[in-house]
A and B are shown apart, each in its own frame.
Chain A
């Protein structure tokens, strides 16, 4: 496990419209001059392979599209893994291996878990197609600014 490195990981599918917002933000972050201690990775749709990605870091910022159930869906949300709904049943399907299932499996197996902060980007158009909706796109600058801030890339703020 890397003690001193921070992982900024984008999740989602660029072929599914706004679902790929995480990838677009990661691509923009890669163009910036971030500290060497930060790894910026386009994770795509890793499924269970997320375990390998997460288990080698102590601190992780995940950037993903979020589907809201009620509440305000008009802006970026910062959530912890505990904010994610845990299913009441023990389902687990490989393709559906979203973050909750992976975290749950890691916890059940008593694996080392990083500190995770999830940047939830509002997704408006989840449909086959490359490119983001205008509604979704307008949040990118704010997201980058925010990630720079919480990653310590700006104003030397501590992570978390």
Chain B
């Protein structure tokens, strides 16, 4: 049996990627996940800029992960300049990371994944047949946006966060508003768990190396050391010992590996590494959703995203309680520049996000490196496809394509470089 599958522009993923798969008599002859867009040029734009500009520039890399890029950048700057933020600053940043993870996961689950389970091509027909489902997703997304608006002006390209702290200290009433917004989301997130509980996730398992941050205290999204079961802990400054990037001929994004293995990053990797630190409500959700850890089914990354969404809501309420009750210490102190090298890593919605800057004694960026989560997952996706295909050869080509697209989509790849465009046709 021969299949020649060429998925040009995989649908419902962020950005443009093609999948080339050539199967002859049950054997894969050719397999390529071609990435035709990449954000790596953005590093060049940082060269020659003052280090304090970096968070504002990198916040523009992605409209979906703007908080993550901003915070990875801020952490790299603070590391290079030897600045230690206050406990309140860290707590507020953690709440903002939660908000971003929540909004990104909800966007993926409701707008991109849910149509698969209704056998429709996109969220548009889903909005026609089940408007209440889509509206619930939009309400949850708005919750996260509201939190960012209250704390840092907005979610897209946040303007309130900077090296050292926050441009504006949130008032008590702001924090009360954040609490109200979070509490208002509880019925919808609970209903979301019920909704996804009933959906049939394909069964496919393959062991790989799960990489994420891991912290001693909290479930690691903002801080921690680099971790995989095989590598144990690695300091973020030593990230080159933990992760290796390589150039692939057919892809404008590099591939990544750790040791001799491809790696998986993102929600499922984090849950595999840090499940015990989830909030009780998130653990309860995992149980309701049938997610048992460790889990080696990449399709379950979607379910892991939902479990993290539950965690983000409940853990944000806990973090709010930990903020200073009196005047918070979140203002920006004096930023003294010096020559140095700094690394900042956060867990963006799709996985570990690395920023590294080298600066001279005037604070001018002389070197920059940025590793995005999707690039880290690409080799792993290819290996998953290789392992998956023999088991689905009996399916029709249409069903095979659907199963393959669902697999790629389960990783929630963010391929593109954020260019925003309108296409207009003028009738002359």
Contacts and interface: CB of A to CB of B under 8 A. Distances in A.
| A, B assembled together | yes
Contacts of A46: 63, 156
Nearest to B107: A94
Interface stretch (A28-36, A69-77, A135-143, A150-158): A69-77
Contacts of A134: none
B142 interface: yes
A48 interface: yes
A14 B60 contact: yes
A19 B415 CA distance: 18
A132 B321 CA distance: 46
Q: Which of A19, A43, A49, A83 has the most CB of B within 10 A?
A: A49
A77 B421 contact: no
A115 interface: no
A69 B122 contact: no
Interface string B128-165: 10010011001001100100000000011100000000
A133 to B, nearest CB: 15
Nearest to A92: B122
B14 A77 contact: no
B167 to A, nearest CB: 16
A64 to B, nearest CB: 6
B420 A12 contact: yes
B60 A52 contact: no
Given A52-B142, A92-B111, A92-B123, A98 B424 contact: no
Interface string A59-97: 000001111111110000101000111000111111110
B108 A70 contact: no
Contacts of B348: none
Contacts of B127: 105, 108-109
Interface string A95-117: 11011110011001110000000
Nearest to B125: A90
Contacts of A72: 426, 428
B107 A48 contact: yes
Contacts of B131: 108-110
Nearest to B134: A109
B422 A15 contact: no
A49 B416 contact: no
Contacts of B141: 48-49
B42 A49 contact: no
Given A92-B123, A105-B123, A108-B127, A128 B41 contact: yes
B367 interface: no
A47 B63 contact: yes
A160 interface: no
B424 A66 contact: yes
Closest 6 CB pairs of A and B: A95-B14, A128-B41, A45-B63, A71-B426, A92-B122, A108-B127
16 contacts: A16-B417, A42-B157, A44-B420, A45-B62, A45-B419, A48-B111, A64-B422, A67-B424, A71-B428, A84-B422, A92-B111, A94-B14, A95-B15, A96-B416, A98-B422, A109-B134
Given A15-B60, A45-B62, 8 more contacts: A16-B420, A64-B422, A90-B121, A92-B122, A96-B416, A99-B422, A108-B128, A109-B131
